[in-house]
Amino acid sequence: MLYKKLAASTEKALNEQVQLEAESSQYYLAMASWAEVQGYNGIAQFLYRHSDEERVHMLKLIRFINDRGGHGIVPTLKQPAVTFKNILEIFELVLSHEILVSTEINKLVDHCLQEKDYTTHTFLQWYVAEQIEEEKMATQILDKLKLIGEDKGGMYIFDRDMATLQTEDRR
């Protein structure tokens, strides 16, 4: 084994994060599908990309756990929401979900410091930085939606622009 084996408690905590990243991917996939059916094709494309990125976040964790002598567990996923009130609600949910993920990442970082597991601590810094970007992106999108309000023309342009908006990613 190349690396010092993960402590059982760290392996468990990382696998819980695998679950959360997988749930994030499913959640955004459900939002993407709903937006597409409602005719918001640009927003749907953005959310499909976001869902794919969350799956990559999950994979990075699984590979890391396995590289460190643990076992990355592919989780069972619960059914995400099927319908949403409107686009504003979707991005409010995205922001609150990302804040939840950031909280969990911070708990993991804290756990690593307590365990003196500096390798996992370093690995997690990528997620810390990613969460800052994701919270910022969701906040900026919400600001735009609040400016648009009930303006249908504004929403048309917003939807068009979202087709090409890059989800932040440092891979």
Residue ranges in contact with ligand OFO by CB under 6 A? 21, 24, 54, 57, 98, 101, 130, 134
Which of 37, 103 has the CB closer to ligand OFO?
103
Residues 6+ apart with CB under 8 A from 83: 34
CB of 114 to ligand OFO, least distance (A): 23
Which of 11, 98 has the CB closer to ligand OFO?
98
CB of 132 to ligand OFO, least distance (A): 10
The percent of the chain in helix, strand and coil, each rounded to the nearest 5, is 75, 0, 25
Between the alpha carbon of residue 60 and those of residues 5, 123, 146, 148, the distances in Å are 17, 10, 35, 37
Q: Quote the CA–CA distance of 171 and 166 in Å, as a whole number.
A: 13
Which of 7, 84 has the CB closer to ligand OFO?
84
Which of 21, 159 has the CB closer to ligand OFO?
21
Which of 24, 120 has the CB closer to ligand OFO?
24
CB of 100 to ligand OFO, least distance (A): 8
CB of 151 to ligand OFO, least distance (A): 29
Q: Quote the CA–CA distance of 41 and 35 in Å, as a whole number.
A: 7
> 157 with 46: CB under 8 angstroms?
no
CB of 2 to ligand OFO, least distance (A): 26
